[in-house]
Amino acid sequence: MKMTGAQTQMLKGIITNPDHPELQGTFKQGSFWIVTDSFSCFYFNKKPNLPNCQGVDKDLLQYLDIPASAKTQRVPDIDFMVRIKNISNENKRRPFPYELDKDVNLFVNPYYMLRIMKILPGATRMFYSTRVKPVVFVGDDDNYALLNPIRYDGNSPYINHEGELINPNLGEEIIKEEDECNSIKTVMSM
């Protein structure tokens, strides 16, 4: 996979965390070049155009062993995820969690999922087994990405797997049409 300039810029954004100088670049484990910010992790067969870094001692390759019992799902359309991210932008404190799988009770940060989809546009399938283990995205040319799920307390708003904003405190969906109607200004005519 030949990386575009935009993909390389997104990777450079991942490695800029000043709290983790050991992750400010790419490092090799096994046959993969790894780029991570501890929220998501990318595995490339070819070295990306990033500086080398120390990396971590933890075996990050273990997460690529997908159990036979893992669920598989198609990666959503990128336009759908952009819409999810835009809905999530409504919360200024932190993004609304996105419910990836209702049955597993699996939630992810929509920003990080969209970032994975942009960096690995050839990823069409994702695998997961529980709500605490990372979601594995399988890209083209044997490139992979991991996304760590987030904990969801069950009491705050979230975006369900169909793209609807749900507010469990009210026990109902937040209906955008009502919000839009309330924000329309009436113009008086003479």
Give 83-93 pLDDT, tens digit per residue. Answer: 999 888 876 77
Alpha carbon of 143 to those of 49, 107, 121, 140: distances in Å? 15, 23, 11, 6
Q: What angle do CA 13, 17, 19 make, to 5 degrees?
A: 175
Q: What is the pLDDT of residue 81?
A: 95
Contact 142, 64 (CB under 8 A): no
pLDDT for residue 183 is more than 50:
no
Report the distance separating Cα 39 and Cα 24, nearest Å. Answer: 14
pTM score of the predicted model: 0.84
**Would you give the end-to-end CA distance of the chain in angstroms?**
63
Short-list 12, 47, 13, CA closest to 33: 47
pLDDT in tens, 10-21: 999 999 988 889
Q: Please, what sign has the CA dihedral across residues 39, 10, 157, 173?
A: negative
| pLDDT band for position 101 (cuts 50, 70, 90) | very high
Which whole-number Å values give the CA distances from 52 to 9, 24, 35, 187, in the listed order? Answer: 16, 8, 10, 60
123-170 pLDDT tens trace: 999 999 999 999 999 998 889 999 999 998 888 889 999 999 898 665
C-beta separation of 119 from 8 below 8 A: no
- Give residue 10's pLDDT: 94
**pLDDT given at position 19:** 85
Q: What is the mean pLDDT of the chain?
A: 87
